[in-house]
Structure 1
Amino acid sequence: MSPKKVLLLGVLLIVPILVYLFLKVFGTNHYSLRTYMPVIEDTGEPLVRNGDTVFHRVPDFSLTSQTGKTVSQQDLQGKIYVANFFFASCKDVCKKMSNNLGQVQEAFAKEPKVKIVSYTVDPERDSVAVLSKYAETYGAKPDKWYLLTGPKRQIYQLAQEGYRLPAMQAPSLIPDFIHSEKLLLIDEEKHVRGIYDGTNEEDVDRLITEIHVLLQEEKQHVN
């Protein structure tokens, strides 16, 4: 074999190794998602333990899905999920969010680690039967996309204190209505890793991309 062919063969063999090493060393840091909502001490400074900032975690909950099944954080153990708040009679913002969440569901149809959790902010009217019909409308699969209802006080506390969404007046006759277009990406540790406009297609595309990033990030942590 001529020296040129030997050199060419050597280059072909070493390039994949160099690419792998580059991605291994630089890829993780470059694409690592930020973590939102640091815990704040009374001094107004972020809480730090053992040199690491402590971040807020979404608290446990227990609510009822569109199938009548009880769903809690235990059902999301080892999963990452997208959370949002909606109500079935909403015709504008919620419709756009639900259509976009349908795209998220489709993008991760074969990825069991990814779930979607939608909480109704109108639980007095959004019964299991109503949520079941809503799920059919938007193609929500019961093992992938949970539409949850339950005590109003618990849901509102979860929205305001768990996910830290502001309480805003919606165009509705229901007082103190939580109305938010935000989608939140939650990791395995129940930390908020992304916040998106659920009515904006570009933001939803970014969400889908960052779910892939988070899946890869957590896979590397395991390895």
Structure 2
Amino acid sequence: MSPKKVLMLGILLLVPIFLFLFLKGFGTNHYSLPTYYPTINEDTELPVVKDGDTVFQKVPDFRFVSQEGKSVSQADLNNTVYVANFFFASCQDVCKKMSAQMVRVNEAFKNNPQVKLISYTVDPERDSVAVLKRYAEMYQANPAKWLFVTGPKTELYALAHNGYKVSAMQAPGTIPDFIHSEKLILVDKEKHVRGIYDGTNPQDVDRLITEITVLLHSYQQDEK
């Protein structure tokens, strides 16, 4: 083997070691995730600060219906970190790519009850409970782990715009089509947004999986 190939092999073997040491911080995790969307004072247009800490917006409560026909709210996500996205079942391109990446996240944490996933339809008029159930089964989604939800369109869109700060709307035209975000959104146990990722990019979803692990580790450290 040439010296150049030996060098490249050595670098490849060292990368995971450096990554491990970076995340573990030689026993202490020094890497923390940002928190998105500080609450802004309308008068000063500055972030609201209380007791010396910035106040961040929380994803508001909601009440929709799952692929099992059961009522779903934020209470079903309590004490978990979760990944959210917006999709519609008849979407043949972007949504399939996002759902495939959500499968990767689901598989990475399938045995960890602290991690859940939730997919909100932007086409509730066609995405009935039965449609969502079939869609969920296509991706072998356990309803206890990965929720697909539908409900009133105005409430779904308001949650996207005001809660997760992403786009969701019906496209103009006679053929039903929808404009929605391609992002996967990581939400912590306090309902704060902690990460935003391209749901069609496997490398960015690799980062999501890593950062879920970092977030879970931070909770473990807090409990010590």
Give the alignment's TM-score, normalised by structure 2: 0.84
Aligned to 1:39: 39
Instruction: Give the distance between the partners of 1:162 and 1:189, measured in 2 at CA.
Output: 13
Superposed displacement of residue 220, structure 1: 1.4
Superposed displacement of residue 218, structure 1: 1.2
Aligned to 1:75: 76
Alpha-carbon RMSD across the aligned residues, in angstroms, is 1.8
**8 Å CA contact retained: 1:170, 1:179:** no
Give the letter for the 1:38 counterpart: P
Aligned to 2:195: 194
Using the aligned pairs only, state the percent identity.
62
Aligned to 1:90: 91
**Superposed CA offset, 1:24-75 (max 9, x none):** 5xx33x3111101111112111111111001010000111110111111111
Counterpart check, 1:118 vs 2:119: yes
Aligned to 2:6: none
Partner secondary structure for residue 95 of structure 2:
helix
Instruction: Give the distance between the partners of 1:107 and 1:125, measured in 2 at CA.
Output: 31
Instruction: Give the distance between the partners of 2:200 and 2:171, measured in 1 at CA.
Output: 16
Give the letter for the 1:36 counterpart: Y
What does 1:156-167 align with in structure 2 at a 5 Å threshold?
156-167=157-168
**8 Å CA contact retained: 2:106, 2:117:** yes
Instruction: Give the distance between the partners of 1:207 and 1:125, measured in 2 at CA.
Output: 30
Of 181-190 and 69-78, more deviation after overlay is shown by: 69-78
In the alignment, structure 1 segments of 5+ residues that lack a partner are 1-20
Query: Could you say if the C-alpha distance between residues 64 and 116 of structure 1 is closer, same or farther in structure 2, counting changes exceeding 3 Å?
Result: same
Aligned to 1:107: 108
Displaced runs of 4 or more, over 4 A: 167-172
Superposed displacement of residue 23, structure 1: 3.7
**8 Å CA contact retained: 1:82, 1:116:** yes
Query: Could you say if the C-alpha distance between residues 168 and 152 of structure 1 is closer, same or farther in structure 2, counting changes exceeding 3 Å?
Result: closer
Give the alignment's TM-score, normalised by structure 1: 0.85
Partner secondary structure for residue 104 of structure 2:
helix
